[in-house]
Amino acid sequence: MICNRCQTEISADSKYCKECGLYLRKDVEDHIAKALLYRIRGGASGLGNALNELDEALKIEPENAEVNYYIGKLMHDDAFFEESINYYNKALETIPEWADVHFALGVSYYRLCRVDEAINAFTRAASLNPEYIDAYYFSGICYYHRGNLEMAIEQFEKVVHMAPQYGIAYYHLGRAYSKKKLIDKAIVALEKLVEINPNDSDAFFHLGFSYWKKGADDRAIWALQKAIDFNPDDETAKDIMKQWMREENGR
């Protein structure tokens, strides 16, 4: 017997696929399919109907990992983070090595600013799936929040190595390098970001500061002007530009 989702071979008497968590009972699958359809339609009624379908599925299979996972996602999407954590943990009681659930659990912990628990969940997701790029990214965010710049840099470096177009990771990597006073590396990361997104005013703003710290005044002024061009309402950038120009003219 083959799982319809991940194509893993499973025994005929299996209740669920141990590889991807798909439950094999037709009635449970029907409730899940209806719930997903309701959620796609959106709105308060869509959420309510989706939850009703998943509740019916749980009556059939109370330990159904997939159903608990989907309820957790619905709870998270509507900012019921504590509830989402409870459902994710129920899913993990059945399938403890489901990387996606560990990742989702980490995001809910992160939303509640339970950073250490979030790091543990993201780390577990990455250990189960070493290609889980978003797990490394969110780990980096959490480590940065904690002030552990070394670990933040390590995580962001993994992200950009695995996904060279992951622009936002270059932003946080550049900021972490800058805080560590690794200015040359910060410049490289932020230059890569503006190459990926040449309209990012915030990236140009921080790139300008990195150039300024390095003593590359002309490049700093150029980058800050680009930030102002893309965001004319940035009064902070304008004030800094005036200050820099006064310093330049005073030399």
- Give the model confidence (pLDDT) of 124-134 as tens digits: 999 999 999 99
Q: Is the overall model pTM greater than 0.75, yes or no?
A: yes
Q: What is the DSSP string of 133-188?
A: HHHHHHHHHHHHHHT-HHHHHHHHHHHHHH-TT-HHHHHHHHHHHHHTT-HHHHHH
- Structure confidence at residue 6 (pLDDT): 73
For 208, phi and psi rounded to 5 degrees? -60, -40
Token pair listed for 150 = 């070394």
- Structure confidence at residue 203 (pLDDT): 96
Low-confidence ranges of the chain (pLDDT < 70): 1-5, 12-13, 15-16, 18, 21-26, 44, 250-251
Q: What is the DSSP string of 34-96?
A: HHHHHHHH-HHHHHHHHHHHHHHHHHH-TT-HHHHHHHHHHHHHTT-HHHHHHHHHHHHHH-T
**What are the structural domains, with CATH classification, of the chain?**
1-92 (1.25.40.10), 97-197 (1.25.40.10), 200-251 (no CATH)
The helix/strand/coil state of 2 is strand
What is the DSSP-derived secondary structure letter of residue 22? Answer: -
